[in-house]
Structures are given as C-alpha cells and as structure tokens.
Amino acid sequence: MKKVVIIRYSEIFLKGKNFYFFEDKLFANIKEKLDGIKCFINRLNKRFFVSDYDVIDEKRIVSNLLTVFGIHSISTGVMTSSDDAAIKEYVSTIKLSAKTFRVSVNRADKSFPYTSIEYSGMLGGIVLKNNKGIKVDLHNPEIDLNVDIRDNDVTFIYHDTISALGGMPVGTSGSGMLLLSGGIDSPVAGYMMAKRGMPLSAIHFHSYPYTSIQAKEKVIELGRIISKYTGHFKLYIVSFTKIQEEIHKNCDGDYMITIMRRIMFRIAERLCKEKGIESIITGENLGQVASQTVESMTVTTDVVNELPIFRPLISFDKSEITDISKKIGAYETSILPYEDCCTVFLPKHPVIRPRVPKCEKEESKLDLETLITGAMQNIEIVNI
C-alpha cells in the first residue's frame, strides 16, 4: 500500500484509433510538469498515477497537475492490491470527520468476486463500525469514499476529487501565433486555444520610445504567466515605431488603427510561414471596441491569404474574459498602467465600418514592403 495522486483523463476518452497519440502526449506533458519533483509516474488502464513521492511534495504535485490541459480530475489517496482482505484492512483504519458518508465502488476488474453494490455495503458496514456517530447518506453525503478496483490487481481508495482544467493535451492540435498585447483579452485567448491542444508562439508589437520599456516587460511577464498552462514558447517582439510614424504622417487619421492592424496581420502571417506556424490567434471580441466590428475585422484580416484566424473570445462578455484572466493569474499584470502601441497616435474618431478600397488607397501612400521587411529584420526573440 502506498500514497498516490490519481489522474483522470478528459476528452481523450472520445478518441478512436488515435487514442494512444493523445494519451502519450498527455503523459509526456505530465512528466514535464513534474520535472524536478522526485516521484514515479505511471499509467494503468486509462488512469495515470503518481507515487513514490515525499509527502511534503504532495500539494506541489497537485498544484502543478492543475495547470495541465487534458486532465479531468485529480484525487489523493492510496493504492493497494485488489485483494478483499487488503482493501478491508485499509478501510478499517479510515477515520472520517463528517456526519454522513457513502461508499462508491467502481469494479473495473470484473473478476473481482463481489458486485459493486454488494461490496459498497460491506465496506460501509466497516466504516460505520469504526466511526461512531456517522450515518450513511446515499444521495448527498459529506464524504464519498471511492474504491476503484482496476485491472492488474490494483485498487485506488480516495475520498477527494479535485476538478482540473479539462480540454485537450497541448501539442495535439495545429500550432498558433498569438497576437499578444498588454491587455486582458489576448492572454486569455492564448489560454483558451492551448486548452484545445494548440501549442503557441506569440508576437508583440511595441513602439519605443512612445511606449515604455515597462510596457514590453509587462508583456513578457504575461507570457510567463500563461506559459504555466501552455508550456514553453517563443515571444517575437516587433518594433512598430517606424511603421506607426509613417502611417501617422501619410494616412487618413481615422483609418490609422485599421491600417496599423492590417500591417500587423501581414507581419504575423509572414512570421508564421517563416516559422512553420499554422494559424493566427487574436483576443478580438465582437463589438468591444471600434476596431472590433464585423466590418473592421473583415477588412483588417483581408490581408491574410493562407492561414486561419482564431478568435476564441469572439462572443464572450467582458466579465467572462475578466473572470478567466483572474483565474489564470494574469489580471493584475494586465491592468498595470503601461500603454501598448495601439494607444499611440490614437485617432479621435476611428472608422468603425472601414472598406478595403479606402484602406488600399491609404496604404498606397506607404512603402509597405520596405516597412514590413525592416520590422522583420529586427525582431527580438524571448524564450518564455
């Protein structure tokens, strides 16, 4: 008998012939997340478990596992042999600090000599005998004592179940380039796409000296925060100062945000193709600001020719986005008062229903190729 942390899958159960690809990736992600903690990680009949760890590391193990996409739930408990006497011996030592309980038996090993209902009654009688004043409540117990009888002569016994992130293991879907600003939305967008198994890279546009060094450091810190969930990634920092100056000097001010974003998407797509990244991700949310109308989003992404654009927050309320930002620990950093490049030369009346011909007319006043090439030649790469 030994202490264990039991790990259950999420959507992986729905996979058919590719099941083991997803399971193997989740197993690898768990091993990476627990790297540096002395423990043993194994799998057993659609369960993972962590064992042979120092008890003082248990909370850390659980905490780290709660940042891994693909895990449905976690329990701490014990592992024993699927022997009637061994199970009953352990159950007889259990002391419950509650007024009501039930015993739930899962008999995955059908060779076990008792049915789940029969064995639940037997074990419940042992708990009642050794815990004075406690009562059975089959419908709404304070404690649900679970006895999970698996194949290969292994039984897990536990009474706590912690909900995890769910989703798909990172690395099981195509890759994405996140347009990472210093705001609330884009880190949440990256988190949401990683939850669907997408490994990330990120691109950030800064306009020093109009934006501060602190603004860039803020974005790097946001990258570090979401990397707890997404895994390691590269952050590409693009100097946008020259481009914004040229737009401000030569183009219709009302179209400045639209043209600026069209150039950002051009640069993002070129970088994706250069690095073999398969999609672009934004934190756009329909109707939230002037640049996020249907017309604006259509026009700004008209310049992207070959890659899909994912907007995971498109229908979210701001309060929903803020709640997720707080949940993942990004909110306090996101609201730090350091400007990003979208606030530089901000027009008084940005166009909310732009048209492609007008954008193309304004862009013809710029040497786009020279500006884009210059920006891409001086990209700073930060390993997050």
128-160: per-residue pLDDT in tens? 999 999 999 999 999 999 999 998 899 999 999
Give the list of residues 6+ apart from residue 60 with CB closer than 8 angstroms, or none: 37
Which residue's entry shows tokens 């040229």?
246
Three-state DSSP state, 104? strand
Q: What is the pLDDT of residue 36?
A: 94
pLDDT computed for residue 37 by the predictor: 97
Task: Report the percent of the chain where pLDDT is more than 90.
Answer: 85
Q: Is the pLDDT of residue 338 over 80?
A: no
Domains of the chain with CATH codes? 2-163 (3.30.2130.30), 176-383 (3.40.50.620)
Question: What local confidence, expressed as pLDDT, does residue 345 receive?
Answer: 63
Residue 287 has what pLDDT?
81
In the prediction, which pLDDT does 343 show?
Answer: 58
- C-beta separation of 52 from 39 below 8 A: yes
Q: pLDDT for 161-211, tens place per residue?
A: 999 999 999 999 999 999 999 899 999 999 999 999 999 999 999 988 888
Whole-number pLDDT of residue 351 = 84
**Interval 43-51 mean pLDDT:** 91
Closest CA to 75 of 149, 3, 171, 168: 3
Mean pLDDT of 53-63: 97
pLDDT greater than 90 at residue 100: yes
Quote the pLDDT of residue 352: 84
* pLDDT for the residue numbered 186: 96
- pLDDT score recorded for residue 269: 98
- 104, 73, 109: which is closest to 91 by C-alpha? 104
Buried b (16+ CB within 10 A) or exposed e, 353-375: ebeeebbeebbeebebeebbeeb
Exposed/middle/buried for 245, CB within 10 Å: 0-12, 13-18, 19+? middle
Torsion of CA 382, 321, 309, 380, to 10 degrees: -10
The conformational region for residue 122 under phi > 0 = left, psi -120 to 50 = alpha, else beta, is alpha
Give the residue-averaged pLDDT of 17-23.
92
First-residue to last-residue Cα distance in the chain:
40
- The pLDDT of residue 208 is 86
Q: How many whole angstroms separate alpha carbon 291 and alpha carbon 358?
A: 16
Mind listing the pLDDT tens digit for each residue in 341-379? 555 566 667 788 899 999 999 999 999 999 999 999 999
pLDDT computed for residue 102 by the predictor: 97
Q: Model confidence at 340, in pLDDT bands (50, 70, 90)?
A: low
Mean pLDDT score, 308-313: 97
pLDDT digits (tens, 9 = 90+) for 235-278: 999 999 999 999 999 999 899 989 999 999 999 999 999 999 99
Residue 33 pLDDT exceeds 90: yes
CA 71 from centroid of its chain's CA atoms: 11
Separation of alpha carbons 92 and 103, rounded Å:
13
Average pLDDT, the chain: 93
pLDDT recorded at residue 346: 66
Whether residue 23 has pLDDT greater than 60: yes
Dihedral of alpha carbons 242, 244, 247, 248, sign: negative
pLDDT at 106 over 60: yes
> What was the pLDDT predicted at 209?
84
